[in-house]
Amino acid sequence: MTTDTKNLEEIIIKAVGKAIKSNNLATKDDVKTIIKESNLATKDDVKTIIKESNLATKDDVKKAISENNHELFRVFLTKQDALDVFVTKDEFNEKMDNNFELLDKIYGIVKRTDEEQTVVSQKVENHEVRITHIESAIA
């Protein structure tokens, strides 16, 4: 229970107690008198407090939301801007295909270079043996 609910219960208990003591049921006026004596806020008090505290009204909130939406639209990209900046799925796939073709070409070049290097390194390793073989054949 909140404090306000407890206070309201106490007020009601006082009103019922007063009515029982006087052998009468509590009238509307009795309850109003007890509420006034307990100094609770009325509906008018709440309205006055809201007006004086300059809280946002429903219209203020609607206006703020609509103004913010316009500001957000100005900040964010429009659909056409997004199409100009970003690629479509088809364009992306086309570029990826081009990249993979280029990678395949690079892989082929590297593979040929590796094969050529293997052949050249075998010739270099056999170089001394061949020179010795040629010298012995000439002599």
Lowest mean pLDDT of 47-56, 61-70, 73-82, 120-129, name the range.
73-82
Mean pLDDT of 82-86: 73
Percent of the chain with pLDDT over 90: 18
Say whether pLDDT at 103 is over 80: yes
Q: Tell me which of 70 and 113 has the higher pLDDT.
A: 113
Q: Which are the contacts of 16, defined by CB distance < 8 A and separation ≥ 6? A: 26
Q: Give the up-direction half-sphere exposure of residue 50: CA atoms within 13 A in the CB hemisphere.
A: 10
Q: Could you give the CA distance from residue 44 to residue 34 in angstroms, rounded to a whole number?
A: 18
Q: What pLDDT is stored for residue 54 in this prediction?
A: 74
Under the banding of pLDDT at 50, 70 and 90, the label for residue 39 is: confident
Q: What pLDDT is stored for residue 113 in this prediction?
A: 92
Instruction: Report the largest interatomic distance among the alpha carbons of the chain, rounded to a whole angstrom.
Output: 149
Residues 41 and 17: beta-carbon distance below 8 Å:
no
Q: What pLDDT is stored for residue 75 in this prediction?
A: 61
Distance of CA 27 to the CA centre of its chain: 57
Q: Could you give the CA distance from residue 116 to residue 98 in angstroms, rounded to a whole number?
A: 27
Q: Which are the contacts of 14, defined by CB distance < 8 A and separation ≥ 6? A: 34
